[in-house]
Amino acid sequence: MFGLADCNNFFVSCERVFRPDLRDKPVVVLSNNDGCVISRSNESKAMGIKMGEPFFKIRHLMEQGKVAVFSSNYSLYGDMSRRVMSMLSLYTPHLDIYSIDEAILDFTGLGDADVLRAHGKKMVRDINKGVGVPISLGIAATKTLAKMASKYAKQYPAYEGVCLIDSDEKREKALQQFPIGDVWGVGRQMLKTMTYYGVRTAWDFVQRSENWVRREFNVNAVRTWRELQGINCIKIDELPYKKSICMSRSFPGAGISKLSELEEAVAYFATECARKLREQQSCCGQITVFAYTSRFRQEQPSDLLHQHIRMNVPTCDTAEIVHAALECVRRHVVQDLYSYKKAGVMVWDIVSSDAVQTLLFDEVDRGKQKKLIQAVDSINRKNGHNVVKVATMGERREYVADHKYVSRRYTTNINDILELKV
């Protein structure tokens, strides 16, 4: 049996830990550069605020005092995640961290349904009390079913934070009510095909034959189909990961017009993409760089940069990705003619680091580069973000996100800790 622990509205919950006056009130957290909503409290969802809603559309609600708004505070969220995961590790010797707010626990051999349910409820209560972050726990015979159960635990308060799928009867009932688009591993393209064939729920999917699934999709879809049948066949490193990663920013004021400044920004974005690739143990095969001027300033010349480059060998090497991204910029921009309002880097065609197709005549010493990357990452983890970096990033930071509503770093900065007056 596996458990999947999922923190409820994680970013919002982290903010509420240190702002108890906001419990049971509408709260949202914004993306980098305060662009759009990326986390919502249940009260905000009830108001009709959607995930990804542009901030300017709900600014009036903040000004009227109807919604509390926070800029993303990743220092705080990362430390709170560490605390949650540390407590989760007390409940099983086998804990796999899947994302900043999700973890998979192996409960095999722990006991029967009553023991598992009691164990899970104690876990939910202890973490809520010890860290202040509410979690939902799904328990089932496979990781995909456990993910489904965690969503039911979050959706129905009567479960008290724990949903257990431990019989075929419960599994079939859960599948019949679960939209196929919400199943782990079902992406947009797969969903289009499912919809075309009239597959609306997870139950519709498992009623299809394995041969049909293999013919219409791929081996990963077959594994998902088997997991929904109750057959455990997906390892932690085979769980779905991001198919693309994008880092972008809007620049303040009139934007940036110097080529050197644009290169610094693009180098920074490419560095962050490379870091995120390594975090999910993957490599990218293709890179896209984009930048464009403001559409609303008609008096200035307009330009659109959208360059693409394919890597000879999929990579997560910061130096390689930065070099390729800068090549895209220099291929298009040759002098300081335009004021770019936004720029970004997207890495895609992502594969697992263990499944990279190498090149016979590769001129790069991959083993040596891997050791260098590991050394740099180790130094940065120990001494601070980007202490060691590519020189092209420079010292200028105009492109760093604008966080007007950021909270204090209560747990990681001595100057931001809470003060009590008695």
Q: Tell which residue, 134, 139, 80, has the closest CA to residue 104.
A: 139
Strand 304-315: give its sheet, edge to edge: 245-250, 340-352, 282-293, 304-315
> Beta partners for 287?
309, 347
Please give the Cα distance from 261 to 248 (Å, whole number).
14
> What is the tens place of the pLDDT at every residue in 144-186?
999 999 999 999 889 999 999 989 999 999 999 999 998 988 8
Q: Which of 19-23, 199-203, 224-228, 376-380 has the lowest mean pLDDT?
A: 376-380
Structural domains of the chain, ranges and CATH numbers in brackets: 8-74 (3.40.1170.60), 77-237 (3.30.70.270), 245-393 (3.30.1490.100)
Beta strands 68-71 and 27-30, pairing class: parallel
pTM of the model: 0.69
* pLDDT at residue 296, as a whole number: 63
What Å distances lie between residue 64 and 58, 68, 209, 311, 369, CA to CA? 10, 10, 55, 50, 53
* Residue of higher predicted confidence among 216 and 400: 216
> What is the tens place of the pLDDT at every residue in 14-54?
999 999 899 899 999 997 668 789 899 999 999 999 988 88
Beta strands 135-140 and 2-7, pairing class: antiparallel
> Beta partners for 292?
304, 342
Characterize 109-133 residue by residue with b for buried, 16 or more Cβ atoms within 10 angstroms of its Cβ, and e for exposed: ebeeeeebbebbeebbeebeeebbb
* pLDDT at residue 401, as a whole number: 56
What Å distances lie between residue 329 and 84, 267, 314, 350, CA to CA? 41, 10, 20, 22
Average pLDDT over residues 307-335: 87
Maximal C-alpha separation, the chain:
72
* pLDDT at residue 288, as a whole number: 87
Backbone angles phi, psi at 107, to 5 degrees: -105, 15
Per-residue pLDDT band at 399 (split at 50, 70, 90): low
Q: Is the pLDDT of residue 403 over 80?
A: no
Backbone angles phi, psi at 387, to 5 degrees: -65, -40
207 three-class SS: helix
Per-residue pLDDT band at 398 (split at 50, 70, 90): very low
> What is the tens place of the pLDDT at every residue in 120-155?
999 999 999 999 999 999 999 999 999 999 999 999
